[in-house]
Structure 1
Amino acid sequence: MLSRAKYFGIRLLVLSLALVVGVLLGEGLLRAFATRSVADHRLCCEFDPVLGWQKIPSAETWHVTDEYQVLERFNSHGLRGPECDYEKPAGVRRLLVLGDSFVEGYSVEFEQTLTQVLQERLNRDVSKSANPATERFEVINAGTGGYSTDQEYLFFVGEGHKYHPDVTILAFYDNDPWYNAQANYWRGAKPLFALDEDGPLRLTNVPLAPPANAGPRSSDVKPWLDRHSRVYGLLRTTVKRSPMLRRGAAAAGLISADEAHSLWRELEVYALNPGPEMVMAWRTTSVLIQALRTKAKAAGSQLVVFYVPPAHAFDAQRWRELLSGAGLSPSDYDRSHALAGLQEICQASGIDLIDPTDELHAANARRLSEDAPLYFPVDGHWTASGHRVAAEVLEQYFRRSLEIDQAE
């Protein structure tokens, strides 16, 4: 007769073997029948002591999810797109677009990005024009995934102005204000500005300390699993997208408390009665945008702001699930509140704000009936159709404001 200790030992062994077999079976099925998971969404970024991270010059990387497979290439300056000299050619008007992953556009081919579609549409009449002096347009994609307004400002000061843009377009996303007040993002440390009472912006933590990489660490297991395990990638992505699961993972010590609470803290941008940290974040954002306008003007460039609506702006169910998953009451939040804050900043500063919400809403309603939405349902970024609609809105603005000649 087995002793109790041996009995439980055998049960533990059987359960462990069953778990291992289950994981191996799941790994095999995912590799056989599913595309590479979000864990294969490679960043292709390097540390930068001012910006936190930047795209690696002359590099290329695959972005592969269940919704898209895109090979992204960067030029020698680390920008997505072809080589582009700092010196602006004669007869060219340059538009420099600052922004995050929506502008970088790693979910679509380069030819389908907002910047490239805008360039093609602005230049479509050049070859047909009878006027040899008709100007050509260059639209430079300076978007980098994860950037907020502070990093976009610093990029312009350090690099963007060198391209001598006639117009600088700042793409604004709803989580920008929150991260303008944070020293860390999931990609790594980032610059943090302090706003003194009635004083100018002041960088508090630059140069940033490089990430530690000396010697093996237990935390190195996660990147290894990211690269080699489909099951781990699926679990990580599922936990990342569920505030409830993230809280459970934090309680179990699997992720940090900051990671667990980052989503609902970002959502405070929609709060009808925001806390003091969010109020200060908005104030910092306002000063950053005004500072960028000043720097752009000094470089001979006009600043305009382009609003990038999130997917939940058009999806009531997604918005409700976002709030309920974070344990927040719908009566305390308004999904249009971030746009209202941006409108107030631009109006007070005399900066043109281009808002494509109505056009995207109308186009998305049509596309949904055709099962071709403007946003990827899971990833949340624009599809090629979303980029095209956004580019069309920008095109109409520039045709009006720059009085672009139309071909006969």
Structure 2
Amino acid sequence: MKHKRLWFSAIFAALLVAITLAGLEILSSFVVPPWPARELRPIEVSKNAVASTLGGAPAVPEYNSWGLRDREHPLQKPAGISRTVLVGDSFLEGAFVGKSVGARLEEIWQAEGHRDWEVMSLGISATGPPQYYYRIRNIALSLQPDALVLTFYSGNDFVSDALSPWRISPPIAERPRPSWLGAVAPRLTWLLVNRLGLSEFGRANKGTTDAAQEIMKKPRAERLDAMVRLIKTRYYPEKDEKVIREILSRGGDKFWDRFEPRDRDQEYLQAWWLAGMVDWETATWTVPVTPAEIEQSMDKRQVAATMTWLLGARDLARERGIKFLIALAPVGVVDPSYAEFWRPWPRYMSYPRENEAKHRLLRAALEAQGVTVVDLEDDLKGVPGTYRVSDGHWTELGTEIAAKRLAAALQKLREAR
């Protein structure tokens, strides 16, 4: 009799959980964006939301009904159209430039007479290789692409966890990554990730964007002290204020010059990366600075783990006969003006320098696997003014160079048998 009661209790509890989840999933459907928007972004896109998280840009561009910086596209590929789908992060989203890489790519083809070639841009800020893989598997493949481009940014896209068939999903995860809850209640999963702030988007902000922009409205003579107080109060109350001031003052007056109003490529000072700079410059751990130290300390296991996701994406395309290439976006230190701006903070720059070394290793590993690689370092290296010093994204010039290289590479890929 006791065993029967236990079985009854277990069955009753399971049914109660199932009914509760089903009810919450139904209720969530009234407030959660429809597919594929809920699979693409962890936030509901609005000008204010994007501007606040990405740095307060006043001229945030329009987004389509899927939450993408792109024009509207039908799910079903129109007859007679050759469709290219781009997958990547904020370098594709291009919130700080007049036209994204995808928009420029399509314009270039249109000008060349390829009016039956279209580009769909699935660029989502604050995402990386795991999201790229699942975004391709769950969404991009359903769009019937003729070509797939995975854009990889060497500045922050290296990961430590490899793709594996034995990988155990977490209880909850940002869509489109799999999770236990996501398998049975995807809408509820989106809602919880959104409301609880569980996505990667904007985690480092700590609500300091508006405060930093207010500081930039002050006279120059007052900005440094105000920024020191903000960094100490919001990020490092335990650090000596004199130490923070010394670090932030190294760039001199030229530092503030970069954030004055301009007609294009407006820079936005953000407290979160200033806090990162203070953290690295006061680090108690060993920071590699010289090329030899960087080469020795480089974590090659990250390159190997990252490779699994990229090759997995390649295999998804190959199984369906879709042309595939990986575009490698290098770190901003390839831009001489970017490197010069950050020269006073060598410890902080050790991180992008290490990623620069991993970039070269990744390219060699991908090419050894027969992957078609477009290394944008070949086009951007040594060209000043291609990267924004504030957030490390492409400027208008950098975006244009990248779009032209991709247009030529994809045309060559199309012509290959």
Structure 1 and Structure 2 fold alike (TM over 0.5): yes
- Whether the 8 Å contact between 2:376 and 2:405 is mirrored in structure 1 is yes
Superposed CA deviations along residues 176-235 of structure 1, whole A, max 9, x for unmatched, are: 444x23xxxxxxxxxxx456xxx546254252263548xxxxx9x953984798239988
Q: TM-score, normalised by structure 2?
A: 0.60
| Partners of 2:144 and 2:308 in 1: CA distance | 23
Q: TM-score, normalised by structure 1?
A: 0.62
- Give the counterpart of 2:104 among 87, 101, 117: 117
| Partners of 2:351 and 2:392 in 1: CA distance | 22
- Corresponding residue number in structure 2 for 1:56: 44
Cα distance change of structure 1 residues 67 and 226 upon mapping to structure 2, 3 Å threshold = closer
Shift of 1:66: 9.0
- Whether the 8 Å contact between 1:201 and 1:287 is mirrored in structure 2 is no
- Give the counterpart of 1:142 among 122, 142, 152: 122
Point out where structure 1 has 5 or more consecutive residues left out of the alignment: 1-44, 127-133, 182-192, 214-218, 366-372
Shift of 1:312: 1.4
- Corresponding residue number in structure 1 for 2:170: 205
Cα distance change of structure 1 residues 177 and 335 upon mapping to structure 2, 3 Å threshold = closer
**Aligned: 1:106 with 2:95:** yes
Superposed CA deviations along residues 21-72 of structure 1, whole A, max 9, x for unmatched, are: xxxxxxxxxxxxxxxxxxxxxxxx9xx9x97953526x44463899964222
**Aligned: 1:174 with 2:158:** no
- Whether the 8 Å contact between 2:68 and 2:122 is mirrored in structure 1 is yes
**Aligned: 1:346 with 2:366:** yes
| Partners of 1:224 and 1:68 in 2: CA distance | 14
> How many residues align structurally?
310
Provide the secondary structure at the position in 2 that maps to 1:54.
coil
Superposed CA deviations along residues 377-396 of structure 1, whole A, max 9, x for unmatched, are: 33322122211111111112
**Aligned: 1:231 with 2:215:** yes
The residue type equivalent to 1:144 in the other structure is I
- Corresponding residue number in structure 2 for 1:386: 398
Point out where structure 2 has 5 or more consecutive residues left out of the alignment: 1-32, 174-191, 198-202, 218-222, 241-270
- Whether the 8 Å contact between 2:51 and 2:60 is mirrored in structure 1 is yes
4+ residue runs over 6 A deviation: 64-67, 232-237, 244-247, 262-265, 267-270
- Corresponding residue number in structure 1 for 2:83: 94
Cα distance change of structure 1 residues 201 and 56 upon mapping to structure 2, 3 Å threshold = farther
Cα distance change of structure 1 residues 170 and 194 upon mapping to structure 2, 3 Å threshold = closer
| Partners of 1:177 and 1:115 in 2: CA distance | 20
| Partners of 1:225 and 1:176 in 2: CA distance | 21
| Partners of 2:351 and 2:134 in 1: CA distance | 36
- Corresponding residue number in structure 2 for 1:272: 295
Cα distance change of structure 1 residues 93 and 273 upon mapping to structure 2, 3 Å threshold = same
- Whether the 8 Å contact between 1:88 and 1:164 is mirrored in structure 2 is yes
Superposed CA deviations along residues 138-179 of structure 1, whole A, max 9, x for unmatched, are: 11111111111111111112222121111111111113444x
- Give the counterpart of 1:317 among 317, 334, 340: 340
- Give the counterpart of 2:132 among 152, 166, 172: 152
Cα distance change of structure 1 residues 394 and 153 upon mapping to structure 2, 3 Å threshold = same
- Give the counterpart of 2:389 among 352, 363, 377: 377
